[in-house]
Amino acid sequence: MQGKILNIQRCSIHNGPGIRTTVFFKGCPMTCLWCHNPESQSFKNEVMYDQEKCVQCQSCITACSNNCINFEAGKIKTNLDRCSFCENCIDYCLSGSRELVGRDISARNLVDELLKDSEFFKNSNGGVTLSGGEALSQGYFTIEVAKLLKKRGISVALDTCGFVNSEQLEEISQYIDIFLYDIKIIDPEKHREFTGVDNKLIFENLQLLNHLGSRIFIRIPVIDGVNTSEGEIHGILDLIDGMDIEKISLLPYHEIGRHKYDKLDLNFKNKTMKVPGKIVIENIKKIFEKKYIVEIGG
C-alpha cells in the first residue's frame, strides 16, 4: 500500500512523550490561514523555490526534460501541471534553491525506516507520531502503518485535525496510544472562514474518541485576534466538559514558516492574525489550569 509523506523528523521531544520520530504526511482537508507548513496542504508533489538563494544560473531550465521551467520577470517559474517530478532540476541546481516536497512510499518501507529508531523509543518511553498535513486523509495507508508499528511493539501517537472519516478514526483507534487532537475555533462561521471547513464533524469525532476511551491530549493553536476571546476559551471548556482529557497544549501562533508561502508561490493571507503576547498566553493557561494539566508548546 502506497502513501505520500513530506518527511521524517527524528529525535523529536514534542508531539507526544519521550523521544519520538514524527512522520509528516502530505495533504490536508483544511486550509488554515495560519498554517506554518503550507507545503503539507496539497495532496500533490510540489517544488519549493527559494528566490533569495537562486543565482539565476538557469541550470534548472536546461535540466528540465518537460520544458516546464521558465525565466520570467527576473524569477524562475515552474509549471507543476507539466512537471513529472523527475528531480533533474533539483540535482542540477547549483545554489540548492529548489526542493521537492512529497514522496511516495509503501507502508512496509516506511515502517522499516521508523524501526531504525526503536532503541531510542525503548530508552525514553517514546515512539512514533503520525502527523500532517492530516495523516487520516490517507486513511487506509495510515491505518496499515499504525497496525504494523503496533505489531512491533512501538507506541503510536496520531496528531489529527479531527476533520476525518469517523469509521477510519474508530478503526485506527485500536492501534493508537495517544491522540493529539486539535481544537482551533469554536464559532462555526469563524472556523469556516479561517480553516475552510465547518467544525461539526471535528467535535463529533472528539466525542467518539472519548466514548471509545482513547487517551486524548487537546492541542490549541493560540492566535490573537482569532480564538483568544473569553467566548472562544469558555466554548472549548464547555465542549470538553465531562470528557477524559489528559492534557491541554497551548501552541502560540508564530510566523516562522511565512517564507514558505513565497517558496510555493502562494499568498500569505494574514487577515486579523497576531502573535499572542505572554500575558495573553498566561491568562488562557490559568483558565484551563483550574481543571486540566496545561503546557505551553509541545
In three-state secondary structure terms, 139 is helix
Residue 268: predicted pLDDT: 85
pLDDT at 1: 86
Helical (H) or strand (E) element with 261: helix 259-263
Q: Is the pLDDT of residue 271 over 90?
A: no
- CA 41 to CA 43: how far, in whole Å? 7
Per-residue pLDDT at 198: 97
The pLDDT of residue 55 is 93
Q: Tell me the per-residue pLDDT of 214-225, one tens digit each, with 9 for 90 and over.
A: 999 999 999 998
Residue pair 165/194 in contact by the 8 Å Cβ criterion:
no
Q: Is residue 238 scored above 90 in pLDDT?
A: yes
* pTM of the full structure: 0.94
pLDDT at residue 270 is higher than 80: no
Is a pLDDT exceeding 90 seen at residue 135? yes
With a cut of 80, say whether residue 102 has pLDDT above it.
yes
Tell me the CATH architecture of domain 2-43+103-296: Alpha-Beta Barrel (3.20)
pLDDT surpasses 80 at 272: no
Closest CA to 186 of 234, 153, 258, 125: 234
The cell numbers describing 55, all together, are 543565482
Q: Is the pLDDT of residue 49 over 90?
A: yes
- The predicted structure's pLDDT at residue 269: 82
pLDDT at residue number 267: 87
- For the segment(s) 46-101, the CATH number from 3.30.420.40, 3.30.70.20, 3.30.360.10, 3.20.20.70 is 3.30.70.20
Residue 77's H or E segment, with its range, is strand 75-78
Q: Where in the chain is the domain with CATH 3.20.20.70?
A: 2-43+103-296
pLDDT exceeds 80 at position 101:
yes
Average pLDDT over residues 129-150: 97
Measured between alpha carbons, how far is 103 from 143 in angstroms, rounded to an integer?
18
Q: What is the amino acid identity at position 133?
A: G
Quick one: pLDDT at residue 75?
84
The residue assigned the cell 478514526 is 169
For a pLDDT cut of 70, what percent of the chain falls above it?
100
Alpha carbon distances (Å) from 213 to 19, 161, 195, 208: 25, 19, 28, 9
pLDDT in tens, 148-173: 999 999 999 999 999 999 999 999 99
pLDDT value at 257 more than 80? yes
11-31 mean pLDDT? 94
pLDDT digits (tens, 9 = 90+) for 116-134: 999 999 999 999 999 999 9
At residue 74 the predicted structure's pLDDT band, cuts being 50, 70 and 90, is confident
Q: Where in the chain is the domain with CATH 3.30.70.20?
A: 46-101
Q: Is 296 helix (H, G, I), strand (E, B) or coil?
A: strand
162-186 mean pLDDT: 98
